Amino acid sequence: MGLGAGLAVAEMLTSDPKLLASRKSSLRRRHSAKGGLRSVQIVGSEPQQLANAARLNADDGADVIDINMGCPAKKVCKKAAGSALLADEDRVAEILKAVVSAVDVPVTLKIRTGVSPQQRNGVAIAKIAEDAGIQLLTVHGRTRADRFKGEAEYHTIERIVDAVSIPVLANGDITTPAQALAVLQKTGAAGIMIGRAALGRPWLPGAIAQSLAGLRTPLPSLAERFLQMRCHLTALHDFHGDFMGIRIARKHVGWFLDAIEHDVASSFTEWKRHFNALQDAEAQQTLLQTLELRCTENSSTLRNNELAA
């Protein structure tokens, strides 16, 4: 269902040809025509591999190729991919030029503000990206060394915006329209990218977009949120099948329950434990419906918070 985000980038896809036929990669390459503009994110460290992966996905219908140089995960960085690439500016230039030359569709890039707090080379990387033909740049306000610790810093994003002429999106610790507006004013960025804050709250990017456009839209009600989650649960089961769908649903429902705990002033630790023990798709749906009834009975209205502004 469309919830108002301007663009949703697909899950990170490896450029390693040996893994492209794997079940995980095959599923990540599937796309529905109802999904709107198709942006496929690729990750790797070898310029020619990434170029080939970009060409493969463009030929398969991708409207945009997005290159990940922002992921701080150890399993990605140990292969000199993701944010690990920020330490090798020459390799970054090789990769970006190879990918841009390989496809006719726009190529975008996701980075962090640098290698470490002592080496914030995001401005240099951004200039390399612009010179290589990257058409849009997303910057997370932490370095590779920071991972997700501490608070995002936006000063480097501001410097990047000032240093290049291509659009820059700001990312990091943006959870409300007020924060989004403050970050846009601080950095001068062309827009906002929402990541972890949307986990369990898929309506959040659309709510922020509407607020920034000057539209005052109420938050989705508790019933609307449960409906979204139940529809999502059905889609997970249909897409991944009974075995994997049941297991993948556990983290998605966990995110959802984490997101509404504050609004209903309740803890769902036991409910999550119970849900995670279920081995049947129908049982998962039934438990979610039962929890919705319990929440509705105990909380007629959501508590007000800053998102309503």
List active site positions.
Answer: 71
Closest CA to 263 of 293, 221, 297, 233: 221
Token duo for residue 148: 């997700």
- Count of CB atoms within 10 A of residue 142's CB? 25
Token duo for residue 165: 């002429």
What CA–CA distance (Å, rounded) separates 111 from 160?
11
Token duo for residue 307: 């998102």
Cβ-based neighbours of 242, under 8 Å, separated by 6 or more: 281
What CA–CA distance (Å, rounded) separates 265 from 272?
16
- The residue with tokens 């979610």 is 288
> How far apart, in Å, are the Cα atoms of 260 and each of 229, 267, 292, 297?
12, 9, 11, 15
3-state class (DSSP) for residue 119: strand
Could you write out the DSSP letters of every residue in 267-300? --HHHHHHHHH---HHHHHHHHHHHHHHHHHH-S
> How far apart, in Å, are the Cα atoms of 232 and each of 67, 110, 130, 144, 247?
27, 27, 38, 32, 14
> How far apart, in Å, are the Cα atoms of 105 and each of 9, 70, 267?
15, 21, 46
What CA–CA distance (Å, rounded) separates 20 from 27?
10
